[in-house]
Amino acid sequence: MEALALGTPLVTTDCDGASEYCIDRFNCLMVPVGDCQAMAAAVGELCKNKELRETLVDNGKRTARENFSWEPSANALEAALFGETHV
């Protein structure tokens, strides 16, 4: 998530946790766990494709801002504690 929020194009593996916010070719490139060739190919694709990098960066920042900023996080915590939000 930190990489997305900072505007870093992300190549990640399809593992627990990442699948909650990572969408392949929308805000990241996702490769199978343990597939070094797929990881290298994805990094190579990012190096060569400026349009893809820019898309991943823009969508990654939006993902971080809309889903993991203070307000949505506080609302989710409040809902968990009190059953509804008061904001």
Q: Give the pLDDT band (50/70/90) at residue 71.
A: confident
Q: Are 60 and 7 in contact (CB under 8 A)?
A: yes
- Residue 11's H or E segment, with its range, is strand 11-13
pLDDT digits (tens, 9 = 90+) for 15-31: 888 888 999 999 999 99
User: Which tokens go with 33?
Assistant: 């766990």
Residue 78 DSSP SS3: helix
pTM for the full predicted model: 0.78
Residue 87 pLDDT > 60, yes or no? Answer: no
* DSSP letter, residue 44: H
* DSSP letter, residue 13: E
Q: What is the pLDDT of residue 85?
A: 55
Q: What is the pLDDT of residue 44?
A: 98
